Amino acid sequence: MRVKAQMAMVMNLDKCIGCHTCTVTCKQVWTNRPGTEYVYFNNVETKPGIGYPKRYEDQEQWHGGWTLDRKGRLQLRAGGRLRKLLSIFYNPDLPSIDDYGEPWTYDYQRLIDAPLGTENPTAHSISALSGRDMDMQWGGNWDDDLAGATEHAVRDPNLTNMEQHVQMEFEQAFMFYLPRICEHCLNPSCVASCPSGAMYKRDEDGIVLVDQDRCRGWRFCVSGCPYKKVYFNHRTGKAEKCTLCAPRIEVGQPTICSETCVGRLRYLGLILYDADKVLEAAASRDPHDLYEAQLSLMLDPDDPQVQAEATRQGISDDWLEAARRSPTYALAARHRVALPLHPEYRTMPMVWYIPPLSPVADIVHAAGYDEADPDKVFATIDALRIPIEYLANLFTAGDTEPVRRVLRKLAAIRATMRAEQLGLEPNEELASAVDTSPTELRDLYRLLAIAKYDERYVIPMTHAEDAGRLLAQHEQMFCSLDAQGGPGMGVTEPAGPGGHTFRADDGREHFNLLGWDGASTSPHLFPDPGAAEGGPS
């Protein structure tokens, strides 16, 4: 067991109001710079819709993420490193600026400088790239609120095979919002795709970053990420991506997108997982098993064995305590109401989503309503407008059962609490019908509804006194999950334990990547648990 701590996020889509505040605050803080005009570390998409960039979810087209080869082995969908080398000057999987929409600005100055006699001075759009007059055709949120849905949303990859019962008609309209940041995956295909070794997953908290010094702008991370959450800065020629607000997380502050989320739908907290099992989980044969496989990686922070092992591996007590209090673990694992986004990409994403309820499809005949009983005010979840199949395509690789279970649990909370506050006859069976207890429903209610700041965000602070230990990671060539078939894939041969280090000319000890089997411990590749105390364990 290799216990790792991952800072994970849960977003409750049932609370998302689609306001895009997260997008703007993130933009202002991080990508309000030349070269990043079109870059949204955080964006919000209307679903159904084709997203940003266009149809990024269609991996038949973009070849992002992982797939299994014929023997069931994990491989990058876009092909291995050789394929990359061959296509390094022409990457067919790279979205063009038209897929993002050319960024625009306006000739604002005209409003003030217009010479006398200018009829109705009005600022008009010009390209932010070329400065020339520009006719906008697409942008970061072009299809907000089903705008242009009859032309765009119909091409939503999640609607594949649902054409029969989802039509873009007023009577059937449904929508919800999907805020997205980098998934900070446990099995990140962007990292594995980088030919420069410039991407890495931080050992202490799992944040995936691009090393701006090392990035050479090959953009394989852009195409390798199935979520298209790595962007190319056309000014610096380097890739950039969501940092999970690392500078804030390190000091115990929530990410900008979380703290400024006025829907109060984001949660941040640690998830402990077994790094040894990531590849196995990611290689589950049946895509329907991927959600459970991903859950199975999570280690119960209340389990004394896990605690002991984590401590042994150098995870500090306050981090363990944070893991125990973690709202993301609670929502994803304990209550099982949060689901991963597109687990079929096999990257083991670490931003989880609670699927949304929706209005009933038929206000007159909705199942659950009783004409004669005005106290039965909620319809059954099978009467809702958002097709469960659609949600399943997003969150469970098409398996509707887990989605149905979550929605039923949300409905059970509502019914239970309504009965309680109005003094109605409580339905004793509700909790057990959704495989839980009244106590758990109440805990979940508190987490979802009351959602106080310090319960939404449980973020342990970095032990800066260990800076030296963290620096050791600079020396690693590939990422911390760099194993055969794994992110960096920097290894060709399995090797027996031992003999992985050597002392280089500068006198420092280095890890021999070529000799590492990707599974055994890897001194100096990961921060040494004992380094702070002054020596390898």
Partner 1 sequence: MTDADRDLLAPLVPGGEPVEQLLRKAQFFVPGRPSPDYREVHREGGRQAEEFWHERWRHDKVVRSTHGVNCTGSCSWKVYVKDGIITWETQQTDYPSVGPDSPEYEPRGCPRGASFSWYTYSPSRVRYPYVRAPLLEMWREARRRGEDPVTAWTGISRDPERSTRYKQFRGKGGFVRASWPEVVELVAAAHVATVRDYGPDRVVGFSPIPAMSQVSYSAGTRFLSMIGATILSFYDWYADLPPASPQVFGDQTDVPESGDWWNSSYLMLWGTNLPITRTPDAHFMTEARYRGQKVVVVSPDFSDHTKFADDWLPCAPGTDGALAMAMGHVVLTEFFRDRQVPYFTDYAKRFTDLPFLVTLREHDGGYLPDHFLTAADLEGDAATAEGAAHKTVVLDADGTPRVPNGSLGFRYTESGMGRWNLDLGEVDPLLTLYGTHDEAVTVDLTRFDLGETEGGSAVRRGVPVTRVGGRLVTTVFDLLMAQYAVPRAGLPGTWPKGYDDPQPYTPAWQEQITSVPAAAAARVAREFARNAELSHGRSMIAMGAGTNHWYHSDQIYRTFFTLLMLCGCEGVNGGGWAHYVGQEKVRPLTGFQNLAFGLDWQRPTRHMTGTSFFYLHTDQWRYERFGAGELASPLGHGRFGGRAFADCIVAAGRMGWTPSHPAFNRNPLDLADEAARAGRPASDHVVEELKAGRLRFADEDPDDPANFPRVLTIWRANLLGSSGKGMEYFMRHFLGIEDAVRAEETPEDVRPTEVTWREQAPRGKLDLVTTLDFRMTSTCTHADIVLPAATWYEKHDISTTDMHPFVHSFNPAIAPPWEAKTDFETFRLIGEAFSRLAAEHLGTRTDVVATPLMHDTPDEAALPGGNTLDWKHGDCEPVPGLTMPRLVTVERDYAAVAQKMAAVGPLLDTLGTTVKGVNVKPAVAVEFLARKNGRVRGGVGDGRPALTRDVHLAEALLALSGTTNGALAVQGWQDLERRTGVRLADLAEERAEDRITFADTQVQPRAVITSPEWSGSETGGRRYAPFVVNVERLKPWHTLTGRMQFYLDHEWMQEYGEALPVYRPPLNYLRFYGDQGVGDPGRPEITVRYLTPHSKWSIHSEYQDNLHMLRLFRGGPVIWMSPADAAKIEVRDNDWIEAFNRNGVVACRAVVSHRMPEGTVFMYHAKDRHLMTPRSEISGWHGGGDNSLTRLIIKPTHLIGGYAQLSWGFNYYGPTGNQRDEVTVIRRRSQEVQF
Q: CB of 290 within 8 A of CB of 346?
A: yes
- C-beta closer to partner 1: residue 177 or 395: 177
- C-beta closer to partner 1: residue 168 or 295: 168
- Rounded Cα distance, 520 and 108, in Å: 60
- C-beta closer to partner 1: residue 138 or 395: 138
181: its two tokens? 């940041």
- Rounded Cα distance, 478 and 133, in Å: 44
- Rounded Cα distance, 336 and 292, in Å: 10
Residue 12 burial (10 A CB sphere; 0-12, 13-18, 19+): buried
178: its two tokens? 């999907």
What is the C-alpha R_g of the chain? 24
Distances (CA, A) of 345 to 56, 65, 74, 358, 518: 12, 5, 11, 27, 22
- C-beta closer to partner 1: residue 169 or 429: 169
Q: How far is the CB of 297 from partner 1 (least distance, A)?
A: 14
Burial 241-255 (b: 16+ CB within 10 A, else e): bbbbbbebbbeebbb
Q: CB of 142 within 8 A of CB of 148?
A: yes
Q: How far is the CB of 136 from partner 1 (least distance, A)?
A: 4
- C-beta closer to partner 1: residue 371 or 429: 371
Q: How far is the CB of 100 from partner 1 (least distance, A)?
A: 11
Q: How far is the CB of 3 from partner 1 (least distance, A)?
A: 17
Q: How far is the CB of 421 from partner 1 (least distance, A)?
A: 6
- C-beta closer to partner 1: residue 46 or 307: 46
- C-beta closer to partner 1: residue 306 or 472: 472
Q: How far is the CB of 368 from partner 1 (least distance, A)?
A: 10
- Rounded Cα distance, 335 and 332, in Å: 6
- Rounded Cα distance, 45 and 341, in Å: 13
